[in-house]
Amino acid sequence: MHISKTRFGTLPDQSQADLYTLGNNDISIKITNYGGIITGIWTPNSEGKPENIVCGFDKLEHYLSNEYLGSYPYFGAIIGRFGNRIADGKLKIEGENYQLAINNGANHLHGGNVGFDRRLFEAEIIEKENLVGVKLSYLSPDGEENYPGNLKVTCIYTLNQLNELTIQYYAETDKPTVVNLTNHTYFNLTAFRENVMNHELELAATRMTEMVEQIPTGKIVPVVATVFDFNTPRKLGDAGLAFGYDDNFVFDNNGALEHVGCLCEKTSGRKVEIYTTQPGMQLYTGYWIPELIINGQKKFGKYSGVALETQHFPDSVHHKKFPTTLLKPGEIYDECTVYKFITE
């Protein structure tokens, strides 16, 4: 196991972002404390060739560019305070109304205009015998993006000898608030030779949240015998959906860390197994990922990556029957997701 730290770049306020490389004998993962972004994951294919399998950049300047932010896909970032959408940006906590930013159609998305994905975290290296990682910490002040409460957030990324990337999220508040943290990494197991529509996905989800224009109706509906049924592996492109998938699936793990899915791609021999304590996962096949010119070359574009965002449900602040995202003083937000990388 090994870990190293290098300078990643300078932010507009002249603060410095760093890049942490976590590695073992098989894989290498790069993470910056700017936005907690996973910038790259190198895993071997069936012939033993290591390649990057996630959407990201090797320079900070690309994450800051107007071209990237203009069609912002949140590559690899920590999302918060509230991942996914809140209808009309309206939030009510203990009788108090809060109007959040409207930054996605008529709704609030991924924490607002400047979410955790664009904040600089304090970082601390973790080194143990069979594990390396980085502990990222951020204090979101009361009123940031109009959310109530001083929120202390900790995100711990670790890599072990079993090729498991574990993401642990913790949060504490001094005032009732809402929290829904996730990671927005996009995977492409072909290392971008093809798009992701031939990737096969299996999910331990028999239900999903019914959605109208990306906002839940409040109903939990069955997926069996529909295009949303991944209980047996199916290709992401098989359904022929006009915009692909951007949907929240419901797990029955009751807060325990359980195996909930597997993404695989046969030509590369790569697999990613997913374990989580979270009650749901947003499957997004990346229809709106922009095509960018990076170092003179076209990169990314529609369906170039698939995001597997373990989370609490979208707009759960307006649906009492959904798992709560309310966090009160004295409580600890505690969620965990594991991505295990396998090559056959």
Among 168, 154, 164, which residue's Cα sits nearest to residue 123? 154
The secondary element (H helix, E strand) that includes residue 70 is helix 66-70
Handedness of CA 246, 251, 256, 257 (dihedral sign): negative
Report DSSP state, residue 313: P
> Among candidates 261, 312, 324, 276, which has minimal Cα distance to 79?
312
Per-residue confidence (pLDDT) for residue 109, from 0 to 100? 98
pLDDT tens-place string over residues 198-257: 999 999 999 999 999 999 999 999 999 999 999 999 999 999 999 999 999 999 999 999
- pLDDT(295) > 90: no
If you average pLDDT over residues 188-199, what whole number do you get?
A: 98
Q: Enter the tokens of residue 45.
A: 């294919």
Annotated active-site residue 309? The verdict is yes
**Mean of pLDDT values over 35-46:** 98
Other residues' Cβ atoms within 10 Å of the Cβ of residue 272: 25
The whole-angstrom distance between residue 173's C-alpha and the CA centroid of its chain comes to 22
Position 114, amino acid: V
Amino acid at 21: T
Residue 42 pLDDT greater than 90, yes or no: yes
Q: Which of 309, 312, 319, 335 is catalytic?
A: 309
Contact 323/279 with Cβ under 8 angstroms? yes
Decide if 99 contacts 113 (C-beta within 8 A).
no
Q: What is the spatial distance between Cα 319 and Cα 209, in angstroms, rounded to a whole number?
A: 11
Instruction: Quote the DSSP letter at residue 73.
Output: -
- 297: Cβ contacts below 8 Å, ≥ 6 apart: none
Domain of residue 219, CATH code: 2.70.98.10
Domain count, the chain: 1
Tell me the average pLDDT across 286-302: 95
What distance lies between CA 121 and its chain's CA centroid? 16
For 279, residues 6+ apart whose C-beta sits below 8 A from its C-beta are 250, 251, 253, 255, 312, 313, 323
Structure-token pair, residue 339? 């991505």
What single DSSP character describes residue 131? E
Helix, strand or coil for residue 122?
strand
What global pTM score does this model have? 0.97
pLDDT tier for residue 317 given thresholds of 50, 70 and 90: very high
Q: What percentage of residues in the chain have a pLDDT greater than 90?
A: 99
Catalytic residue among 62, 108, 184, 199: 184
**pLDDT, position 90:** 98
Average pLDDT over residues 118-135: 97
Q: Verify cis geometry, omega within 30 degrees of 0, for the bond prior to 81.
A: yes
Tell me what percent of the residues of the chain surpass a pLDDT of 70: 100
Structural domain containing residue 139: 2-343
End-to-end CA distance of the chain: 22
Work out the angle at residue 8's Cα, subtended by the Cα atoms of residues 126 and 196, and round it to the nearest 5 degrees: 85
Spatial contact of 1 and 27, defined as CB atoms under 8 Å apart: no
Mean pLDDT of the chain: 97
Q: What is the mean pLDDT of residues 264-293?
A: 98
Contact between 247 and 226 under an 8 Å Cβ cutoff? The reply is: no
Q: In what order do the strands lie in the sheet with 234-235?
A: 122-128, 131-140, 151-160, 164-173, 333-343, 270-276, 258-265, 200-203, 234-235
- Strand pairing report for 28-32 and 85-86: unpaired
- pLDDT at residue 176 above 90? yes
